[in-house]
């Protein structure tokens, strides 16, 4: 396998892709550490704030503290953004959309890119461009029934889903049964209360609980 395939396999095998952004780099480092201690080995830092690139570069520098961690960048919407974060050391890219410029940049740099799609047409376009793993978004709008309906159309594509997933076994199991291979969790896992109270031990515990749930579901398939 090449690096792109290995990255995709690690994301799929883990099943949980936490995603977050924070302006404060110290908070960012604490969150990454708590997620890692909870058993996560793939994290998506989102390009959603004024310090996105600056903080991401510092997180990449700190990554040596976390053996085996893949640190990707999310909310990539242009080729220019993709290039900047690849140069900063991103292990993978995630987008809420499909964009040909991003596809070209990812291809030229041999880096895994997970485009975001909502409709069968968008999935088809992404597949034609070479995508092997696609993010269905927003999950809270689509629903498990929608995912189940399109799965037979794209049996050779794997899907992760973001939006509408809670950290309970019932919620995760419902989505996994629809046919996806993993879920993205943002504010439902990295809650406002945890960040305000600096309760990173609780974040680690919650993360470990979700990892355990995900492993249980995957083993039962």
Each residue of 71-97: pLDDT tens digit?
999 999 999 999 999 999 999 999 999
| Confidence label for 1 from pLDDT (cuts 50, 70 and 90) | low
Whether residue 220 is contained in a domain is answered as no
Residue 71 lies inside a defined structural domain of this protein: yes
**In this structure, is residue 20 part of a structural domain?**
yes
Domain for residue 185, yes or no? yes
Residues in Cβ contact with 64 at an 8 Å cutoff, skipping those fewer than 6 apart: none
- pLDDT, tens only, 174-221: 999 999 999 999 999 999 999 999 999 999 999 999 999 999 998 887
Cα separation of 47 and 55, whole Å?
10
CA angle centred on 141, ends 137 and 144, rounded to 5°: 85
Structure tokens at 172: 């995760």
The per-residue pLDDT for 220 is 85
Boundaries of domain holding 151: 3-214
Work out whether the CA dihedral 209, 212, 218, 221 comes out positive or negative.
Answer: negative
10-26 pLDDT per residue, tens: 999 999 999 999 999 99
CATH number, domain with residue 194: 3.20.20.70
Q: What is the mean pLDDT of residues 136-156?
A: 94
> For residue 196, what are the CA distances in angstroms to 103, 179, 180?
37, 35, 32
Domain count, the chain: 1
Q: Is residue 48 part of a domain?
A: yes
Residue 219 located in a structural domain:
no
| 204, part of any domain | yes
According to DSSP, the residues that pair with 46 across neighbouring strands are 74
- pLDDT value of residue 2: 85
**pLDDT per residue over 93-139, tens digit each?**
999 999 999 999 999 999 999 999 999 999 999 999 999 999 999 99
Kindly report the backbone phi and psi dihedral angles of residue 143, in degrees, each rounded to the nearest multiple of 5, phi listed first: 85, 155
pLDDT digits (tens, 9 = 90+) for 22-50: 999 999 999 999 999 999 999 999 999 99
CA atoms within 13 A on the CB side of 119: 3
In a 3-state reduction of DSSP, which class is residue 163?
coil
Asked whether 207 and 35 are in contact (CB, 8 A), the reply is yes
Residue 221 maps to a domain = no
Closest by CA to 126, choosing from 151, 143, 145, 102, is 102
């Amino acid at each position: 396998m090449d690096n792109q395939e290995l990255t995709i396999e690690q994301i799929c095998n883990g099943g949980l892709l936490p995603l977050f952004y924070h302006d404060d780099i110290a908070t960012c480092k604490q969150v990454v550490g708590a997620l890692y201690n909870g058993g996560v080995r793939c994290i998506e830092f989102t390009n959603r704030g004024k310090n996105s690139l600056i903080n991401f570069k510092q997180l990449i520098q700190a990554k040596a503290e976390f053996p085996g961690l893949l640190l990707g960048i999310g909310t990539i919407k242009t080729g220019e953004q993709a290039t900047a974060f690849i140069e900063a050391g991103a292990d993978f890219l995630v987008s809420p959309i499909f964009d040909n410029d991003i596809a070209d940049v990812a291809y030229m740099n041999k880096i895994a890119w997970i485009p975001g799609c909502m409709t069968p047409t968008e999935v088809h376009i992404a597949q034609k461009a070479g995508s092997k793993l696609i993010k269905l978004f927003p999950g809270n709008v689509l629903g498990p029934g929608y995912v189940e309906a399109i799965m037979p159309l794209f049996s050779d594509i794997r899907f992760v889903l973001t939006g509408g997933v809670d950290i309970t076994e019932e919620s995760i199991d419902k989505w996994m049964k629809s046919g996806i291979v993993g879920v993205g969790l943002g504010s439902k896992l990295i809650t406002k209360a945890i960040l305000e109270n600096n309760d990173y031990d609780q974040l680690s515990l919650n993360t470990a609980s979700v990892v355990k749930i995900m492993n249980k579901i995957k083993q039962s398939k």
